[in-house]
């Protein structure tokens, strides 16, 4: 019998079959379910007008997270609970607070903002103990200047919320076998299939069977292939819920490929605060609740939010092919632009980041036009050991400076064995020109990237000597 995807919405189980597997949740809500409160502002996960809450069963409770419906493929909801602005029935105190404090003007971004704020009152993932502005970094508003909305965020007006019946409902639709959806697509003429394996072993077997299938984790990148490029993906393997382990040992940190940014953030911050801040600046809550560390590495972006930092820290990648695994230095994974060391049938399983010594000096810097929720012009990671005023070890890696995240070997050589002085750092800054010939694009010119990367090296001297970076970086 063909499978149906099932999810919980407002007291009902929605059951769907024969859908385009890359239909976005937003399109389904707006054009199939006539729930038009959720808006499309950009269809690329950058504006938050489509923010919804998605709940996952976690033991006897529901973990809620704010997500962008515009780049969420409908089958990703299977077995989960959905809450949209309509679910609130106009009765949530966030809604009345938004009215009372004049938090809406044109009102188009407002349902998304309401959902982000409601998620926060429910303790949704990625929104606990964070700055009120951080909760909203993924919700663009062009009218208000955010003041009244931030006030609501600070008040955090919660409502009693009983999700026992949702727990029961999700238990009923919990699936132990692989979800397989098939769709005869009239637009492309293709038979398109969606697979959600329930174990890593199943994934490994399926991957061998279909090495050409597209693996999707958070869809924060692949979602745009569909909404922006109108690409037709025939076979999709969704790995949500797999490889989600985080293991912290004295030797270091192992992060499963399926760990979402929001969940990796705390563990990485414990390794070094700059790593936590780096992850905090990836997208915004909705993106960090979807995107995974493994996806970030596997897609081989030249910017690579986390890879420069992970490379500087000497991270190792475990790749799996059927029953066999191999472990390689992360830096070796990125071959050239658009090409990675990934064999047919292979997939990224986990990344290991070695622990730091107390003597390690680490700085990770992301430079972008807008401070939050932007993509780096340059991402730089510096990992130094300095003993007796001499640099005994230097490992530097950059994103945005080449076709791949890449180490600066020539610069490392200039530093290693030299005294840690402004003069040596200036020489090292010049050496970056041997390591990199960056491109000019919308995020920065080649000259800027080189100059500012050198400046970051020079600034290390002040940072090492405890000069605070104060407000600009706060």
Partner 1 sequence: MADAHSTQSPKVHASIKHDSAPLHVTGTALYTDDVAEPAGMLHLAFGRSAHAHARILSMDLDAVRAAPDVVAVFTAADIPGDNNVAPVAKDDKLMADGEVVFMGQPIFLVAAKSTKAARMAAKLGRIDYDVLTPILTIAEARAANSLIEATQVMTRGAVDLDAAPHRVSGSLEIGGQDHFYLEGQITIATPMEQGGMHLLCSTQHPSEVQHLVAHLLHVNSADVTVEVRRMGGGFGGKETQASLFAAAAALVAAKTGKPAKYRADRDEDMEITGKRHDFTADYDVAFDESGRITSLRLELASRCGCSTDLSPAINDRALFHSDNCYFLENVELISHRFKTHTVSNTAFRGFGGPQGMLAIERVMDAIAVHLGRDPLEVRQDNFYGPGRDVTPYRMPVTDFVADRIVADLVAASDYAARQADIARFNATHPYLKRGIAVTPVKFGISFTTSHLNQAGALVHCYVDGSVSLNHGGTEMGQGLNIKVAQIVADVFGLNLDKIRITATRTDKVPNTSATAASSGTDLNGWAAYNAAMTIRERLAAFMAGRNGVESESVVFEGGVVRAGEEVLGFAEVCRLAHFNRISMSSTGYYATPKIHYDRKTHTGRPFLYFAYGASVSEVEIDTFTGEYKVLRADLLHDVGRSINPAIDLGQVEGAFVQGMGWLTFEELVYNDKGRLLTHAPSTYKIPCASDRPKALNVDLWRAGENREPTIHRSKAVGEPPFMLANSVFSALSFAVAAATGSRKLTLDAPATPERILRALREGTA
Residue (99 or 164) nearer to partner 1, CB: 99
Is residue 160 within the footprint of partner 1 (CB under 8 A)?
Answer: no
Binding string, residues 370-389; x marks residues near partner 1 by CB under 8 A: xxxxxx-x------------
Taking the C-alpha atoms of residue 154 and residue 148, their distance in angstroms, rounded to an integer, is: 10
Cα 421-423-425 angle, rounded to 5 deg: 70
Are 353 and 252 within 8 A, CB to CB?
yes
Question: By CB under 8 A, what part of segment 401-440 binds partner 1?
Answer: none
Is residue 41 within the footprint of partner 1 (CB under 8 A)?
Answer: yes
Least distance (Å) between residue 206 CB and partner 1: 28
Burial of 187 (0-12, 13-18, 19+ CB in 10 A): exposed
Q: Pick the closest to residue 25 from 204, 327, 211, 286 (CA basis).
A: 286
Q: Pick the closest to residue 312 from 281, 354, 276, 340 (CA basis).
A: 354
- Residue choice 10, 17, 18, 99 for contact with partner 1 (CB under 8 A): 99
- Residue choice 72, 278, 367, 432 for contact with partner 1 (CB under 8 A): 367
Least distance (Å) between residue 318 CB and partner 1: 31
Residue 118 phi, psi (nearest 5): -65, -40
Is residue 146 within the footprint of partner 1 (CB under 8 A)?
Answer: yes
Residue (138 or 294) nearer to partner 1, CB: 138
Least distance (Å) between residue 295 CB and partner 1: 16
Question: By CB under 8 A, what part of segment 123-142 binds partner 1?
Answer: 131-142
Q: Pick the closest to residue 138 from 38, 42, 257 (CA basis).
A: 42
- 3-state class percentages of the chain: helix first, strand second, coil last, to nearest 5: 35, 25, 40
- Residue choice 62, 150, 217, 242 for contact with partner 1 (CB under 8 A): 150
Cα 95-100-106 angle, rounded to 5 deg: 70
- Residue choice 49, 53, 203, 348 for contact with partner 1 (CB under 8 A): 49
Residue identified by tokens 């490929």 is 257
Least distance (Å) between residue 46 CB and partner 1: 4
Binding string, residues 220-249; x marks residues near partner 1 by CB under 8 A: --------x-x-------------------
Least distance (Å) between residue 227 CB and partner 1: 8
The partner residues of 363 in beta bridges, in order of sequence, read 382
Question: By CB under 8 A, what part of segment 104-123 binds partner 1?
Answer: 104-111, 114
Residue (123 or 147) nearer to partner 1, CB: 147
Residue (131 or 163) nearer to partner 1, CB: 131
Residue 415 phi, psi (nearest 5): -80, -40
Least distance (Å) between residue 94 CB and partner 1: 8
Question: By CB under 8 A, what part of segment 332-361 binds partner 1?
Answer: none
Residue (59 or 370) nearer to partner 1, CB: 370
Taking the C-alpha atoms of residue 226 and residue 216, their distance in angstroms, rounded to an integer, is: 12
Taking the C-alpha atoms of residue 158 and residue 459, their distance in angstroms, rounded to an integer, is: 44
| Structure letter (DSSP) for residue 69 | G
Taking the C-alpha atoms of residue 197 and residue 163, their distance in angstroms, rounded to an integer, is: 27
Question: By CB under 8 A, what part of segment 264-303 binds partner 1?
Answer: 284
Residue 58 three-state SS: strand
Taking the C-alpha atoms of residue 77 and residue 9, their distance in angstroms, rounded to an integer, is: 11
- Residue choice 10, 18, 100, 168 for contact with partner 1 (CB under 8 A): 100
Residue (12 or 370) nearer to partner 1, CB: 370
């Amino acid at each position: 019998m063909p499978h149906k995807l099932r999810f919980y919405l407002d007291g009902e189980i929605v059951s769907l079959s024969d859908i385009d597997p890359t239909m976005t949740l937003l399109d389904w809500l707006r054009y199939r379910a006539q729930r038009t409160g959720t808006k499309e502002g950009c269809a690329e996960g950058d504006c938050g007008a489509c923010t919804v809450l998605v709940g996952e069963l976690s033991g006897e409770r529901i973990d809620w997270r704010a997500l962008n419906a515009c780049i969420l493929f409908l089958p990703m909801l299977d077995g989960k609970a959905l809450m949209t602005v309509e679910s609130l029935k106009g009765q949530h105190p966030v809604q009345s607070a938004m009215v009372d404090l004049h938090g809406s003007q044109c009102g188009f971004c407002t349902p998304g903002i309401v959902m982000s704020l409601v998620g926060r009152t429910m303790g949704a993932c990625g929104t606990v103990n964070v700055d009120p502005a951080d909760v909203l970094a993924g919700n663009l508003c062009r009218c208000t200047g955010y003041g009244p909305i931030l006030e609501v965020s600070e008040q955090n007006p919660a409502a009693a919320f009983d999700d026992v019946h949702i727990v029961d409902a999700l238990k009923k639709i919990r699936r132990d076998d692989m979800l397989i959806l098939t769709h005869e697509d009239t637009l492309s003429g293709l038979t398109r299939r969606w697979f959600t394996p329930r174990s890593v072993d199943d994934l490994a077997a399926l991957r061998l069977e279909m090495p050409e299938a597209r693996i999707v984790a958070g869809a924060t990148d692949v979602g745009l292939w569909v909404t922006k490029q109108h690409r037709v993906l025939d076979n999709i393997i969704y790995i949500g819920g797999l490889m989600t382990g985080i293991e912290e040992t004295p030797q270091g940190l192992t992060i499963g490929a399926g760990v979402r940014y929001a969940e990796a953030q705390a563990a990485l911050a414990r390794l070094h605060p700059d790593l936590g801040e780096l992850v905090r600046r990836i997208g915004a809550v909705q993106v960090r609740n979807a995107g995974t560390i493994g996806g970030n590495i596997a897609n081989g972006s030249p910017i690579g939010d986390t890879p420069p930092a992970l490379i500087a820290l000497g991270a190792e990648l475990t790749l799996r092919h059927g029953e066999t695994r191999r472990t390689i230095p992360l830096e070796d994974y990125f071959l050239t632009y658009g090409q990675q060391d990934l064999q047919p049938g292979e997939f990224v399983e986990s990344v290991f980041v070695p622990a730091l010594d107390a003597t390690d000096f680490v700085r990770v810097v992301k430079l972008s036009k807008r401070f939050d929720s932007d993509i780096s012009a340059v991402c730089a990671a510096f990992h130094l050991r300095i003993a007796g005023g001499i640099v005994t070890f230097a490992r530097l890696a950059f994103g945005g400076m080449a076709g791949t995240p890449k180490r600066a070997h020539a610069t490392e050589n200039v530093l290693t064995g030299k005294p840690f002085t402004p003069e040596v750092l200036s020489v090292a800054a010049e050496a970056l020109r041997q390591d990199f010939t960056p491109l000019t694009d919308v995020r920065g010119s080649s000259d800027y990237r080189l100059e500012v990367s050198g400046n970051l090296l020079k600034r290390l001297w002040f940072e090492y000597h405890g000069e605070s970076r104060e407000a600009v970086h706060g």
